[in-house]
Amino acid sequence: MTIHREGIATLSLALAILLAINATIAYVFPEQTLVRQLAIIGSIIIYLIILQFFRSPRRKTVQHPKQIIAPADGKVVVIEETVETEYFNGPRRQVSIFMSPINVHINRNPLSGVVSFFKYHPGKYLVAWHPKSSTENERTTIVVRHDSGVEVMFRQIAGALARRICWYVKEGDVVNQGEEFGFIKFGSRVDIFLPLDAKILVNLGDKPVSGKTVIAELA
């Protein structure tokens, strides 16, 4: 299993803390074998939970100019027509994917093109499924313009547990469908804003896989 680069510092810190805790327990309870064993078992479980969160599976995206690929692993929690007010200032079709702490949290470009807009917003840490999380939480807004001229917006949104959004793109960058554009630590969400004539290919409750599942087709 490959570990994502965003996890190196967190995993190193977690290991140091767990070792210190176990060393302290061994010092305070030198004759309590059961207590020390329970502490070691608990530490291993905690570390494995953190470790799996930063796993980085290899995925090969079959690129298609009219398909929109899922930017995140997780569960589809929103499919609706909405008015997008930050960039398009008009109606769009929104698809939202909620990522729980057990999902892979790598974010991948849903289409190829040029980044025509990027903005980072500091904000709150409401639970990711809260209706206002899309506009009030810490988030990034990214718009990619396809060669056809169609623009698609997607947002990384921090959840109640997330405290750091990572992104690897800026305005003017050329991006390829399926490549990484960011990472969100712990529970979070990604919103995609599509043209109204896009054909949605997922349903509420579906569990898309980033870089593989086709969530929509452009007209």
Strand order from edge to edge, sheet including 67-69 = 67-69, 214-217, 199-200
pLDDT above 90: residue 49: no
DSSP-assigned letters across all residues of 66-83: TEEE-SSSSEEEEEEEEE
For 83-132, how does the pLDDT look when each residue is reduced to its tens digit (9 = 90+)? 999 999 999 999 999 988 888 889 999 999 999 999 999 877 666 566 66
Distance CA 99, CA 76 (A): 9
For 142-166, how does the pLDDT look when each residue is reduced to its tens digit (9 = 90+)? 999 999 999 999 999 987 665 678 9
Q: Write out the catalytic residue numbers.
A: 188
Rounded to the nearest integer, the mean pLDDT of the chain is: 90
Closest CA to 124 of 152, 173, 168, 159: 159
Distance CA 106, CA 155 (A): 13
DSSP state of 44: H
Confidence of residue 205 (pLDDT cuts 50, 70, 90): very high
- The structural architecture, per CATH, of the domain 67-217 is Distorted Sandwich (2.70)
- Residue in the structure block whose two tokens are 């509420």: 204
Tell me the pTM: 0.84
pLDDT above 90: residue 53: no
- Give the distance, in angstroms, between the CA of residue 65 and the centroid of all CA atoms in the same chain: 23
